[in-house]
Amino acid sequence: MSGRKAKGFFLFAAISMFLISLMFVHASFKEKNSMPSLEEKRKIVKELELTDLCLFTDARYTRHPSMADLNTPFQDHPMSLEHFPSGAIMPPSSHLMKNEMD
């Protein structure tokens, strides 16, 4: 019973930090393991000439954000609230904001 509580806390911290280091190990392991699937995806992107991840299929400009034109997200009014929840996650691409004529 020597400083049992303090020991308990240190033990908890040590175990947690060990688990966190395991997380790093797991992450790097997964990374190596995912090579084949990554190759497959790259192949599809190359063959089909794709430009976007399929994340948000609710609207055109959320499905292909890199292809979106300035108007679509702001169809009603530039200040109008976003219709689609995904639009709140994915703001318009930076290249849309660039000056057209440089």
Residues 50-89 that bind another protein (CB under 8 A): 50-60, 62-72, 82, 84-89
Neighbour-count burial for 13-35, b at 16+ CB within 10 Å, e otherwise: eeeeeeeeeeeeeeeeeeeeeee
x/- track of binding to another protein for residues 10-49 (CB under 8 A): --xx--xx-xx--xx-xx--xx--x--xx-xxx-xxxxxx
Rounded to whole angstroms, the Cα distance separating 73 from 5 reads 57
User: Which residues contact another protein (rule: CB under 8 A)?
Assistant: 1-6, 8-9, 12-13, 16-17, 19-20, 23-24, 26-27, 30-31, 34, 37-38, 40-42, 44-60, 62-72, 82, 84-91, 93-95, 100-102
